[in-house]
Amino acid sequence: MAGAGGRAPLGLRRWLSSPAPAPRVCVVGSGPAGFYTAQHILKHHGGALVDIYEKLPIPFGLVRFGVAPDHPEVKNVINTFTQTAHSERCAYYGNVTVGRDVTVPELQQAYHAVVLSYGAEDNRVLGIPGENLPGVYSARAFVGWYNGLPENQDLKPDLSCETALILGHGNVALDIARILLSPLQLLRKTDITDSSLAALACSKVKRVWLVGRRGPLQVAFTIKELREMINLPGTRAVLDPADFTGLESAVKDAPRPRKRLTELMIKTALEKPEEMQAAAAGAAAPREWGLKFQRSPQEVLPSADRRRARGIRMALTRLEGSGDSAKAIPTGDVEELECGLVVSSIGYRSLPLDPAVPFDSQRGIIPNSSGRVEGVPGVRPVSFSDWEKIDATEVARGKAAGKPREKIVDPAEMLQIIGH
């Protein structure tokens, strides 16, 4: 069996040269999911061999390219992943693109199991007019830009406006807001790229709005990220007390994390912002950020010359239902907000990997049942000792019928006998 370049996959060559057969697993993608999978297999399946394939020369996926630069403690897991990669039963093959350099069917022939953990390589689209205007970016591309993801190194976002708007109420949205408003002396101590730091040093952005379709009880960010944002030096939070009316009683019986998160938002909204200490008379106003609720984007508005974004028109919504299942329904009213930078942080989306792997393009997922890809059974080779179990069953059945053996003719039954 040959790869796209006429050679067997690296992992297959390793297997062919190994002295004794052992369970062989291929993991596609070297991000957290890939490494945790490898770690689990190595720990719980003695003797198993794991090969990790990664399209980039460098490993660790979202730990390197997704975690905010000012969250170094989250990246400590790289130490554990490095230990896994150093295992003599684990091999890492970077700079290998599955679907191009080696196909999934080739991997299926070479391994007992192929685990697809290559992540979501695209972003969900807003599906509204103007979203392709200059000044509008996906969160995935923006985060990739300041974190040094090779494909986003030339993004060059325009930060010449005063107001930025982020669509989404998740941790990634807060990360982006924090990076846009953080004092440079804090960012300089991180692993943010030099080019991003230089661009942020020239940034005119001093106000960031985070907009969501639903209300305060449906925000997806966590209390740690919210507290960081509230305590960010040189910035003040702008939360409207009216958005939180009656919520204290509504969250009384909510799970503790949701209750504490909501209480922190209420406390922040009701506090009068402290006057920022000016370093000198006439110093610039402090930077600020705020949360806007029950607003759904309708259109990104173009500038007069139609060359860039100048604002966004949003539909005001009302909520039907409660809790996480609440749905945002447009009321018919609209609102326009001026902003020169729009970042869409509404989630990522997977892309198809290989024509041999089923893909639901509507939902952007590989159809699966409890993780097993539907319609593509994993290759599970039958060993000679497995055959001997089948043989023994045939002989036993034959004896009962007064024959040398009763041949089993259904392959599915054969595999059932050996537990496949």
> How many percent of the chain have pLDDT more than 70?
90
**pLDDT tier at 4, thresholds 50, 70, 90:** very low
Would you state the pLDDT for residue 277? 40
Host H or E run for residue 264: helix 256-270
Sign, CA dihedral 104-105-111-114, equals: positive
307-319 per-residue burial string, b: 16 or more CB within 10 A, e: under 16: ebbbbbbbbebeb
Between 188 and 380, whose confidence is greater?
188
**Which CATH fold would you assign to the domain 122-349?**
FAD/NAD(P)-binding domain (3.50.50)
**pLDDT tier at 17, thresholds 50, 70, 90:** low
Would you state the pLDDT for residue 370? 80
* Mean pLDDT over the full length of the chain: 89
The pLDDT of residue 5 is above 50? no
The pLDDT of residue 88 is above 80? yes
**How far is Cα 4 from Cα 274, in angstroms, rounded to an integer?**
63
CA distances from 65 to 44, 338, 345 (A): 29, 30, 16
Axis crossing angle, helix 139-147 with helix 171-181, rounded to the nearest 10: 50
Would you state the pLDDT for residue 275? 45
Would you state the pLDDT for residue 373? 87
Report the first-to-last Cα separation within the chain, whole angstroms.
24
- Mean pLDDT computed over 304-323: 93
DSSP 126-177: --STTTTSTTEEEHHHHHHHHHT-GGGTT------SSEEEEE--SHHHHHHH
CA distances from 152 to 65, 279, 343, 361 (A): 10, 37, 14, 24
How do residues 200-248 score in pLDDT, each as one tens digit? 999 999 999 999 999 999 999 999 999 999 999 999 999 999 999 988 8
Contacts with 98 (C-beta within 8 Å, 6 or more apart), sequence order: 28, 53, 55, 104, 107, 118, 353, 354
Axis crossing angle, helix 77-85 with helix 32-44, rounded to the nearest 10: 50
Would you state the pLDDT for residue 279? 37
**pLDDT tier at 250, thresholds 50, 70, 90:** confident
**How far is Cα 379 from Cα 369, in angstroms, rounded to an integer?**
17
Q: What is the pTM of this model?
A: 0.82
**How far is Cα 145 from Cα 118, in angstroms, rounded to an integer?**
20
Would you state the pLDDT for residue 2? 43
**How far is Cα 316 from Cα 297, in angstroms, rounded to an integer?**
9
For the chain, residues classed under CATH 3.50.50.60 are 122-349
For the chain, residues classed under CATH 3.40.50.720 are 10-120+350-373
How do residues 138-176 score in pLDDT, each as one tens digit? 999 999 999 999 999 999 999 999 999 999 999 999 999
How do residues 264-287 score in pLDDT, each as one tens digit? 999 999 886 554 344 333 445 589
- Mean pLDDT computed over 323-328: 88
Alpha carbon 388 to chain centroid, angstroms: 46
Would you state the pLDDT for residue 282? 41
CA angle 22/26/32 to nearest 5° reads 125
Would you state the pLDDT for residue 14? 62
Would you state the pLDDT for residue 379? 61
Q: Which two tokens stand for residue 48?
A: 């198993």
Would you state the pLDDT for residue 59? 94
**Which CATH fold would you assign to the domain 10-120+350-373?**
Rossmann fold (3.40.50)
> How many percent of the chain have pLDDT more than 90?
69
The answer to whether 136 touches 309, Cβ cutoff 8 Å, is yes
13-30 per-residue burial string, b: 16 or more CB within 10 A, e: under 16: ebbeeeeeeebbbbbbbb
How do residues 330-363 score in pLDDT, each as one tens digit? 999 999 999 999 999 998 888 888 888 988 888 8
